[in-house]
Amino acid sequence: MYLFEENDIRKHVKLDQTAIQLIEGGFTQLAAGNVTLPPIMRIDVPEHNGEVDVKSAYIKGLDSFALKISSGFFNNPSLGLPSLSGMMMLFQSKTGLPEAVLLDNGYLTDVRTAAAGAVAANHLVKQKLQYAGVIGTGLQARLQMHALYAVRPFKAITVFGRSEEAVRVYASEMEKALGVTVRIADSPEQVVKESEAVVTTTPSKQPLIKANWIHPGLHITAMGSDAEHKQELEAQVFTKADVIVCDVKSQCFRLGELHHAKDQGILSEETESILELGELTSMKKTGRQNESQVTVCDLTGTGVQDTVIARFAYEQLITRGRGLVLGKDTANTK
C-alpha cells in the first residue's frame, strides 16, 4: 500500500487537458450505466459547525476505486485553518484491499470539481466566448476560470465578491495568471449582464442570480450548492433555460439547485428535458445547439470524479516512484 502526501500530489496532478478529458470520460461511464454510485454519506458535527461527506464510485472494469472524505468545518478560519479539507483512498477492485492513501488535503477535489466545470462548458458555452463572469473570489472562483479558459479562451472576466479586498486580490491574480482583463462588478446582476458564461462558486444560502437578468446566449454553471440549504440561482432561472443539465439528477434534486426548483414546482425528477452531463459527453444528447440558447448546469460533485482523479494521481505518482510503502506487515498483494 502506498501513501502520498500533498506536496507530491500538487506537483504531479494539474488542472490541465488530461485531467479534464479524464473527468469527461468518467461522466461518460456514468451515463453508460457502468458506475456503482452509492448515496453520499454525511456526518454532521453541529457543535463545531462542521460536516464530513464521504463519496465513492466503482467504475466497472477498472482495477481500483476511490473513497473520498471531505470536510467543511466553518469555524476553522477563526483558528487560522482552512474550512475545507479532505483525503482520498484507493481500493483494489479485485480484493478490496487498500491500495493508496492520498493525503491531498482537498486538492484533488478542487481539481476534479473545476474539471467538471470545464466539461460542462465544453458542451454548453457558446463556441466563441469573450466575456466570462464569476461570483465568488475563493479557490474555485480561480480554478473554474482556469478550467473555462482551457476549453473556451476568453478575453475578460467580470467578478463579484462580498469582500472588496478579496475581489481586488482576485482581479490582480487572475489578470496575471490568464492574461485577461478582470473587471470588478458592483453586483451579481452586473456580472450576469456583462457575461456570456457565468460560474457561481459560493456557499450562499440565498439565491444570487435572478431570472430576469438572463439574456440570450448565456450559460450558467452553478457549482456552489451541494447541500439542501444552499442555493445560488433563483428557481425561476430554470424557466428561462433552453437546456438544463446536471451532473447526477438524483443528487441535484436533493442537494443542488434543482432541489429548490422542485420545491417551487418548476421542475420535477420526471422532467425529461433535464440532461445529465454524461449524456452530453457520450454524445447521446446535444448540449448547446445555437449561439442564442440559454443553458444552465447544476453541479453537486460525484464520486465518479473522485475515482477518476484519484486513479490519475496514483498513476502519475507511481510512475515517478513517489509515495511511501506501508502495511508490509499486513495482508497485501503488493
Residues in touch with a second copy (CB under 8 A): 1, 3, 5-7, 36, 38-39, 41-45, 47-48, 50-52, 54, 56-58, 60-61, 65, 67, 69, 71-73, 75-76, 79, 81-82, 85, 87, 89, 91, 93-98, 101, 103, 105, 326-327, 329-331, 333
Least distance from a second copy to the Cβ atom of residue 247, Å: 19
CB 245 within 8 A of CB 258: no
Q: Which is nearer to a second copy, 101 or 233 (CB)?
A: 101
Residue 148 Cβ, how far from a second copy at the closest point, in Å? 27
- The β-bridge relationship of strands 181-184 and 197-200 is unpaired
Nearer to a second copy, 281 or 307 (CB): 307
Residue 36 or 264: the one with the smaller Cβ distance to a second copy is 36
List Cβ neighbours of 196 (8 Å cut-off, separation of 6 or more): 125, 126, 129, 130, 131, 132, 217, 218, 219
Judged by DSSP in three states, 175 sits in helix
The helix or strand, by DSSP H or E, that contains position 164, with its residue range, turns out to be helix 164-178
> Is residue 40 within 8 Å of residue 305, measured between CB atoms?
no
Give least dist CB 7 to a second copy, A: 5
Q: Which is nearer to a second copy, 158 or 305 (CB)?
A: 305
Could you tell me the smallest distance in angstroms from the CB atom of residue 176 to a second copy?
A: 25
Instruction: Give the β-pairing of 50-59 and 41-45.
Output: antiparallel
DSSP state of 235: G
Neighbours of 272 (CB within 10 A): 5
Find the shortest distance in angstroms from Cβ 328 to a second copy. 8
Q: Which is nearer to a second copy, 140 or 158 (CB)?
A: 140
Q: How far is CA 317 from the centre of its chain?
A: 23
- The residue among 81 and 283 lying less far from a second copy, judged by its C-beta, is 81
**Shortest distance (Å) from residue 86 CB to a second copy:** 9
